[in-house]
Structure 1
Amino acid sequence: MNPAALVTLVVLLCSSSLGNGGKVLVFPVDGSHWVNMKVIIEELHSRGHEITVLRPTDTWYIQSDSPHYKSITIESPAGFDEKFFGSFITTMLNLRRQGGSFWARLSLEYELVSKFYNMHAKVMELMGQIFDDAKLMQSLHDTKYDLVLTDPAIGGGVLLGHRLGLPLVFNVRWTVQGEGHQAIAPAPLSYVPIPGTELTDKMTFPQRIKNVVYYFFTVFQMWYVTDSNYKPFVHRYFGSDVHYMELFQAADIWLMRNDFTFEFPRPTMPNIVYMSGFQCKPSKPLPKELEDFVQSAGEHGIIIMTLGTLVKNLPQDITEDIASAFAELPQKVIWRHQGKRPSTLGNNTLILDWLPQNDLLGHPKTRVFVAHGGTNGIQEAIYHGVPLVGLPLMFDQPDNFFRMKARGVAKVLDIATMNKDVFLEALKEVLYEPSYREKMKALSRLQRDQPMKPLDLAIFWIEYVMRHKGAPHLRTESYKMSNIQYYCIDVAAFLLAVILLIFTVFISAMKFLWRKMFSRSKAKKE
């Protein structure tokens, strides 16, 4: 084929893909959730789809200008501003360090529940403004989007998708009621642990008691945090006979950000698609200065430490202990830290405001990853086969790290009681006990051993929903049933009534026959 013909063919192919592209409206969640949503957006854009992202005014990660999407900024906050989360994290850390007393624990839970309540209240205010903006809603209708892609950790995208009458695809780990599976799939409490219990799928009798107690505690949280915010809104805009969770359960596809290298075995549903590690990719070469520092570690290798996007710095005494422990190791350390420089910092430790996490995790000299336990970081550690030392802080992080601990690939510390000696001992254990690395390498092989790349799988199902205008044949209609119908309480009551009726008739018949026989016997005697 001559060059001119080849160029023509490429242009035609590109034009064809762009011509077949769909229109996707994205309602994301900020912070680390946006980091993985952005991966999907960029891939959709590369395949010729037109993306529009809705963003509030207080966003700090979701940029208004991007080569991969257009944005619509709603002139209202959604409770996700950086200052809010910064102060919240500081408060949570201080409460945890007060010790393990009942009142400290109660204060911690109260603070967490209160913040979530306020956050969802802000989201409902934002959605009310969107729904009441006739011009904006008409514009969204007229654009004729093919679907809404959203993260159901907040309900804004779910509500908007139903208001516009569009198919829904979730990029999901959590919904407004907790872990995603709980909203759509059966979850027997006998072997499906409630997040936060730090239990596996193999529970003893006392552990099952704990699991059931935690379940009822989460029900109370849902009643206070989500029911009180979402019920009035949904009744106002969708009707008094609609429960807000019905709108979540009616989603077409649930793109689940984990799989069973991370989850314990449990029931699932046909419209749940597992895409664990979809954001992971092979490492790229490091910048020269960083590569030189890594190579200077020699055979000892390097340790990476970062506590994610929300934690700018830790209390000073903790950073001093961490720096002092690092200084006693022969490994080189790359630490993402934006607070005051510790006075105990050793010559082997490089402090950065930002680090290329994926590229460092994929480097052959990386030995240990010290992390806070966000899903993204753990999935990247699994992908690259790097064992972990955990400093979980809040939200799902303790639960995430418990799963890694149960698989023998992580040593987990309590930041409330951690000191230099405890941290140093944990580092040495993971560095020099081969089982941590061996088990993580095995977990990495399991995660990678898939028929197609997780990101390709996610895009396939998004485009599937576009092609077929939804996927109702994969979605159970059980969410339309009442609890009485779902648990067959009405059937049990009916069968019990039939049994009682038969038993009553039988007893009555026996009494009648007995009286007959008794009366005949009496007549003969007379």
Structure 2
Amino acid sequence: MMAKLNQILCQFLLIINTVNSARILGIFPMPSVSHQNSYRPLMEALAKRGHELVIATTHPAKYKQEEYPNLRQIDLHEVSYPKWTELNMAGIKESSTWGNFLIIMKGKRVVDEILDDELGLPEMQDLIKNPKHQFDLCFIAAITPAMFAFKDRFNCSLILISSQAGSISNYKAFGSPTDPTLYPPMLSPYLDDLNFWQRVHISLIYVGTMIFYRSAFVWSCDSLVRKHFGEDYRSVGEIEKSADMLFLNDHPILGGIRPTVPGIIFLYGMHIKPHKPLPVDLQKILDDAKNGVVYLSLGSNVKSAQLSQVKINAFLEAFKELPYTVLWKWENETLPGKPANVHISKWLPQQDVLAHPNIKAFITQGGQQSMEEAIHHKVPLIGMPFLGDQDLNVRKMVKFGIGTDMNLYTLSKEIIVNSIKKVVEDPSYRENISKLSNLLTDQPQTSMERAVWWTEYVLRHKGAKHLRAPGTKVPAYQYFLLDIIAFVLVCAVVAIYIIVKISCEIHKRFIRKPDKPKKS
């Protein structure tokens, strides 16, 4: 009885200590389940704290009305997923060694079309044009700048939130250093200890990325803002610089130690939940796997079924040769030529699967959430990257000794067999991932507690501009001291010139001996 009273008292104190109920808008327009799963737990936690939320999402959750009566969802699924699923990322990647670049270019065009369609929905237009709507805070996916205009629409606080590490633009907007040779950007082909030519290469990539972002990405987003919001809105680049906080699904150890400002909050593994019981048939498959299980999933954006038949056959032949049970996230109903030890499913509860003790290795595309879930459950990794930050994530797996990598272009049966045997039979991979997992989870508070506290901090103080770095207010030439360096160089050149002139004059007048007269 006393325990129950103490629990009620704690809940009461928690309620009276929270900020007054606020109206919060969440805009999460990317048609990717993994992205949505990163944001949803925080929105649910804020709703449980008594805040009123309106969430625009491409993957609405099926809540019971009594479960979250103060949370309303705007469904963006129908206008986003058809175009997104037509983007065959596996096929694009295989078609050329420039696959990653082609995915970015085609993906940008498709995302622009999707955002245009989403903003044109009646419910979204009602948010934009109906004066009755007002919000105290906006959460907006950091990867979709066109949506930043909702901050100016409601003149409210803005928290940018990312399902992965921050981009160059994100860090620059908050005044954190972005030296690409020290802090590898998301699309970096290197991690650390760069030689001279690698530093030249990454610097060129950095400059090219910023030019592309400013000239193409921001320009297209600004045109969407003018079309759907009106002409009297700031550039999305300016709005990004006025954001109050940046929430990143990352950890300084995993993402790379770098100096950051207080307004950047790391929320590693916020989407990870206590595992639930598996479906009976799946539980039996995993329990009966005497030699262990290899789990294969390429995430929600890359479809295994869209790989070329040559690559699919390489996997099938490799699995047939191995003694392990294979659990494969396969998007079609059937898989011709499937060996008896391979089990397929269109959808699998990944976190619950990885929690099973019989999982020996996880073949992944290198997505941020998949990597975090494997680290949390201490399952060694085999990374085969396709797009975005996946190349960099796979390099991190190799660097930390928690996995190995496979190249899609050189993939063969032998490489698959050797990679699986390597991470399963070498105990160092499981030891390393266990150590890393312990490091990443050793924190004074959970990521969710930290996210809720900082969200309500922004609400209490009506923003967090006081936590911004002064570097965001100065032009690049001042930030990098180029004007001072130029001034010092000019002064040095002038001083050297004067010294040389004086020295020449002294030599001419006082030191140089007169010429001897010529003999007649």
- Shorter-chain TM-score: which interval? 0.7 to 0.9
In the superposition, the TM-score normalised over structure 2's length comes to: 0.84
* Aligned with 2:288 (options 286, 296, 299): 296
Counterpart residue number, 1:478: 471
Q: Work out whether 1:85 is the aligned partner of 2:84.
A: yes
What letter is aligned with 2:158? L
State the Cα deviation string for residues 278-325 of structure 1 (Å, max 9, x = none).
111332232333222212113x22222212112342334433332332
Give the direction of change, closer, same or farther, for the CA distance of 1:494–1:162 in structure 2 (3 Å limit).
farther
* Aligned with 1:199 (options 190, 193, 207): 190
Counterpart residue number, 1:350: 343
Counterpart residue number, 1:155: 145
State the Cα deviation string for residues 23-71 of structure 1 (Å, max 9, x = none).
210011331211111121112122222110135xxx4x23597654203
What letter is aligned with 1:93? A
Counterpart residue number, 2:35: 33
Unaligned runs of 5+ in 2: 512-520
How many percent identity over aligned positions? 25
Contact 1:95–1:107 (CA under 8 A) maintained in structure 2: yes
In the superposition, the TM-score normalised over structure 1's length comes to: 0.83
Give the direction of change, closer, same or farther, for the CA distance of 1:130–1:517 in structure 2 (3 Å limit).
farther
Higher relative contact order (CA 8 A, sep 6+): 2
Structure 1 residues 148-157 or 443-452, which shifts more? 148-157
State the Cα deviation string for residues 171-199 of structure 1 (Å, max 9, x = none).
22569965743543112233222333331
Counterpart Cα distance in 1 of 2:20 and 2:218:
41
Contact 2:248–2:268 (CA under 8 A) maintained in structure 1: yes
Aligned length: 501
Counterpart residue number, 2:22: 22
Q: Work out whether 1:419 is the aligned partner of 2:393.
A: no
* Aligned with 1:253 (options 232, 236, 245): 245
What letter is aligned with 2:20? N
Equivalent positions of 1:221-300 (< 5 A) are: 221-232=212-223, 243-298=235-290, 300=291
Counterpart residue number, 2:382: 389
Counterpart residue number, 1:94: 91
State the Cα deviation string for residues 464-503 of structure 1 (Å, max 9, x = none).
1111111111112432322233223334445556667777
Contact 1:28–1:34 (CA under 8 A) maintained in structure 2: yes
Structure 1 residues 349-358 or 488-497, which shifts more? 488-497
Counterpart residue number, 2:56: 54
Give the direction of change, closer, same or farther, for the CA distance of 1:330–1:471 in structure 2 (3 Å limit).
same
* Aligned with 2:47 (options 25, 28, 45): 45
Contact 2:165–2:255 (CA under 8 A) maintained in structure 1: no
Name the SS for the 1:330 alignment partner. Answer: coil
Counterpart residue number, 2:158: 168
Counterpart residue number, 1:334: 327
* Runs of 4+ more than 4 Å apart: 1-19, 63-67, 73-77, 124-133, 173-179, 231-243, 493-518
Give the direction of change, closer, same or farther, for the CA distance of 1:385–1:324 in structure 2 (3 Å limit).
same
Counterpart residue number, 1:446: 439
Contact 1:36–1:279 (CA under 8 A) maintained in structure 2: yes
Contact 1:302–1:365 (CA under 8 A) maintained in structure 2: yes
Name the SS for the 1:97 alignment partner. Answer: helix
State the Cα deviation string for residues 439-468 of structure 1 (Å, max 9, x = none).
111110111111111111111111111111
Name the SS for the 1:84 alignment partner. Answer: helix
Contact 1:333–1:348 (CA under 8 A) maintained in structure 2: yes
CA drift at 1:114 = 3.8
CA drift at 1:153 = 0.2
Unaligned runs of 5+ in 1: 99-103, 519-526
Contact 1:373–1:400 (CA under 8 A) maintained in structure 2: yes
Structure 1 residues 148-157 or 8-17, which shifts more? 8-17
Counterpart residue number, 1:186: 177
What letter is aligned with 1:411? T
Structure 1 residues 219-228 or 376-385, which shifts more? 219-228
CA RMSD of aligned residues (A): 3.8
Counterpart Cα distance in 2 of 1:504 and 1:442:
61
Q: Work out whether 1:116 is the aligned partner of 2:108.
A: yes
What letter is aligned with 2:479? Y
* Aligned with 1:459 (options 444, 449, 452): 452
Contact 1:324–1:345 (CA under 8 A) maintained in structure 2: no
What letter is aligned with 1:157? M
CA drift at 1:235 = 8.1
